Amino acid sequence: MPEEKRLENTAGTTAGGTAETPEKVNNPHDKGYKRVLKNRRVLLHMLRKYTDFAWVKDIREEDIEFEDKEFVTDYFHTYESDLICRIRRGEQEIYLFLLMELQSGMDFTMPFRLLVYMVNLWEQYFRNVPEDKRVLKEFRLPMVVPMVLYNGKEGWTALRRFRDYLRDGDMFGEYGVNFEYALIDVRRLAEELILSSNTVIDNIFYLDRAKEKEDFLRAVEEMMDRVAELPADEKNLLETWFANVLEGKFGEKEQAFIRECFRKGEKKMISGFEQIVNEERENARQEGAVSERARGMQILIESCRKFGQTMETAVETLIQNYSLSPEDAQALVARYWPKK
C-alpha cells in the first residue's frame, strides 16, 4: 500500500491551475444536511438503504473518516456543498464523493463537473504519495465513488453516465472514459421505503419530500411519534436540520412557533400556523389601510396649495374629512405644505 496522507484542503485550486476563491453561498438547507451526514452511523445507514452499493455491507462506522475539504474550480465558480470521506474495507481504500444539489435547479453539466472533482481528488492523492512508491508496478489509485443527493421539485433528468456526455461516446466502446454516478432523488423516494425504518435520515427524507409549507407541516405532525423514538443524538441532528430548513421556508414568527411545537411534540401545528398566517395578513391589511389614509391626507394638502387655498383651509378640510384634532391637522399641514 502507498504511504497514507490526508488530502490537502485546497479550496481555490483546480485541475488546471489556481482560481480566486469566490464568495460562499450560504444555503441553510445544505448546512443542515452536511452536519447530519457527517455522522458515521447516519451516513452508513443511508448508503446501505438508499443505494445499491453491495460493498457497504462490510463497512463499519470506524472504517469511515471524513476529509475536511471542499472544491472550488475554474469551471464552476460556486461554493460546492460536498462531502468527502475515506472508507476502509479491509486492505482496500475507497473515497466517497457526495455532492449535494439541494434547493437548486437541474445541472446538466453534472457528468463533467464530477469528473473534474474526481480527477482533482486523484491528482492530490497521487501528489501526496512519495515518488518512489507511486512509480512501482503495483501502485494503484484508490476508487472514487461519485454520488449526488438531490431534492429538487422536478425529477432528475441530467445524464448519469459520463460516456453519454461525450459526442458519439458509445462508438468508441471501452476506449472512451466512462463512469456513472449514484443518485438519491429524495422527492422521488417511495414512502414505503422511507418508513420501513426509523432513523434521522429516514425522517429527514420524509419531511424533505414536501413541496409546500402546509405539506411540510403536515409531514412534521405525522412524524412526531417516530421522532420521539429516536436516540438523543439523532434527535439533536434532526433539530439542527429542522432549524436550517425553517430558516429557508418561513418567517421569524412562524419559525419560533414551529420550533416550539416541534420541541414539545405537539400535533396541532397546522391550525396554529394558519392562525399566525391569518394574523399576519390582517396586520398587513391594516398597515396598508393606514398607509393609504396617510397618502390621501398628503395629496389633499398638496392639492390645497396647488389650487391656491390657504394653510388654514387645508387644516379645516383635514379635520372635516379625516376627523383629526386641530393639533394633528396643523402638524400634517406643516409637514407636507410645499416649501417656497
DSSP assignment of 28-86 equals HHHHHHHHHHTSHHHHHHHHHHHS--GGGGG--GGGEEEE------SS--S---EEEEE
Terminal alpha carbon distance of the chain: 88
DSSP annotation string for 173-233: GGGS---B-EEEEGGGS-HHHHTTS-SHHHHHHHHHT--SHHHHHHHHHHHHHHHHTS-HH
How confident is the chain (340 residues) per 10-residue block, as mean pLDDT? Answer: 50 40 52 90 97 94 86 53 88 92 84 93 93 94 96 92 93 91 95 95 92 82 87 90 81 77 69 53 57 80 81 86 85 78
The amino acid at 238:
L
CA distance 219 to 12: 40
- Yes or no: say if 84 and 96 are a contact pair by the CB < 8 Å rule: yes
CA distance 305 to 298: 11
Q: Quick check: 311 and 333 in contact, CB under 8 A?
A: yes
State the greatest distance between any 2 C-alpha atoms of the chain, in Å, as a whole number. Answer: 101
Q: How far apart are CA 320 and CA 261, in angstroms?
A: 50
Task: Kindly report the number of other CB atoms within 10 A of residue 153's CB atom.
Answer: 8
The reported pLDDT for the residue numbered 73 is: 56
Residue 132 parent element (H or E): helix 131-134
Contact of 87 with 40, CB cutoff 8 Å: no
Phi/psi of residue 90, each to 5°? 65, -125
pTM value?
Answer: 0.71
Checking 252-259 for CB contacts under 8 A at 24+ apart, the result is 253/280, 258/217, 258/220
Other CB atoms closer than 10 Å to residue 73's CB: what's the count?
20
pLDDT value of residue 293: 77
| Residue 26, C-alpha cell as written in the block | 450560504
